Amino acid sequence: MALVDTQKLTRLSLSFKGDDYPNHFNDVESNFRKWVDALFAKAFTNVEKFSLSIERICGSYLLFQHVFTSLPNVRDISLTVPHNSQIQFSGDWMRDGAFRRLRSLQVELAFHSSLSPTPCTGREAVKSLKRWRCEIRRSLFRVTRRSSC
């Protein structure tokens, strides 16, 4: 990350894709954690537009917290995550500096037939989004479902 001046970026778009082999699940998650830790070692203080697309990777609550608390001035967020993603939005993230200037949040839950055999937590993610939406009254809120089976 030494090649990128994180203080000058105003837009950031990232895409991660795991493989189709369920027996590689732990390796994929471990690699995703390493990428997040490396990319978000410093805060992106001027990023206003952020998009994240993840396929066949669940992530974790702490990884997503790390991402969003590293974007203190983000205004527009677009997420595409698998239906079994471990993302859950929390008021704790706001106390840690996330979403202070948020205007819009778009979340797309992608359903794919070859996702790893982890328990589906998509419903929990949508429930947490609905609870969390009450805390961010000024944001536009939209959750969509996409099937790629």
Pairwise CA distance, residues 60 & 63, whole Å: 5
Determine the pLDDT at residue 74.
95
Which of the pair, 143 or 13, is modelled with greater confidence? 13
The number of residues in the chain equals 149
Residue 46 CB-density burial (10 A; 0-12 exposed, 13-18 middle, 19+ buried): middle
Q: Per-residue pLDDT tens for 58-111?
A: 888 888 999 999 999 999 999 988 877 777 777 788 888 888 899 888 888 877
Sheet holding 76-82: strands in order across?
11-17, 49-55, 76-82, 104-111, 140-147
Determine the pLDDT at residue 1.
56
Determine the pLDDT at residue 11.
97
Residue 134 — pLDDT band, cuts 50, 70, 90?
Answer: very low
Pairwise CA distance, residues 28 & 138, whole Å: 36
For the beta carbon of residue 99, count every other beta carbon within 10 angstroms.
23
Determine the pLDDT at residue 39.
92
Contact by Cβ (8 Å): 56, 84: no
Q: Per-residue pLDDT tens for 35-55?
A: 999 999 999 999 999 999 998
Determine the pLDDT at residue 97.
83
From 101, 30, 94, 95, select the one nearest 63 (Cα to Cα): 30
How far is CA 117 from its chain centroid? 20
